[in-house]
Amino acid sequence: MSRPALPVLALLASLALVLPAPATAAGPPPNYVQVKLGGYFPMSSDIDTYDSGFNGEVSVGRYLAPGFAVEGGIGLFETEGRRPGSPVYREFEVIPLTFSIRGAIPSGPFEAYGMGGIGVYFIDDTSNGASDSAADIGLHLGLGGRYTLPNHVFFGLEGKYLWLTTSTFGTDTRLDGAVLTANIGYRF
């Protein structure tokens, strides 16, 4: 992983909070914070026999224009298992630091959106008592929806697909998978 990638992602996420808000007559506030809880479902052939695991994330975003937002997040997901016929049991614990661009279609208090982004993924791989770690770049695409209450609290569902390859213990492993979450947040 290139060390300059982390400061660039942090800078992009920070810009979301300092850019001027679009002028709207009576629209909702442009900033939001949310918590996402759900599951990670391994889908690559390298780990498709592994268990589904926990996924959690906290993200902060800003609408730069109606229907267009940027979002930065930090989270945790995990999976564990072994390949068929292999005696090696592996546990992956991953901390993603992500940046996403979202396009939304609002309809009253409901909003449907699509998103795409990049992230730095800090990976801890434990195998039969030994541990190795790596930091790798991954990509994601997703869809979601949210409903905003009059007090600016919102609830939503989100699904995204992650493409991520890591090299631990001298072996390349694809951690591609689906992430499904239920979200709660607040616009301010």
CATH number of residue 33's parent domain: 2.40.160.20
Hey, which residues does 115 pair with through a beta bridge?
102, 142
Is the pLDDT at 85 greater than 90? The verdict is no
Q: pTM to 2 decimals?
A: 0.83
Nearest Cα to 99, choosing from 41, 57, 146?
A: 57
Residues 122, 94 contacting (CB under 8 angstroms)? yes
* Predicted local confidence at residue 84, as pLDDT: 79
How many folded domains does the chain comprise?
Answer: 1
Q: By the 8 A CB rule, do 124 and 137 touch?
A: no
- Domain boundaries, position 73: 5-20+29-187
Report the C-alpha gap between 144 and 41 in whole angstroms: 17
Around Cβ 98, how many Cβ atoms within 10 Å? 24
What pLDDT is stored for residue 76 in this prediction?
Answer: 98
79 SS3 class: strand
Residue 45 burial (CB < 10 Å; 0-12/13-18/19+)? exposed
pLDDT surpassing 90 at residue 186: yes
Cα torsion angle, 40, 42, 43, 49, sign: negative
- Alpha-carbon span 73 to 34, nearest angstrom: 9
Supply the pLDDT for residue 1. 47
Whole-number Å distance between alpha carbons of 132 and 170: 10
* All residues at 6 or more sequence positions from 140 whose CB lies less than 8 Å from its CB, including other chains: 98, 100, 115, 116, 117, 118, 119, 160, 161, 162, 163, 179
Q: What is the mean pLDDT of residues 118-145?
A: 96
| Residue 17 banded pLDDT, cuts 50, 70, 90 | low
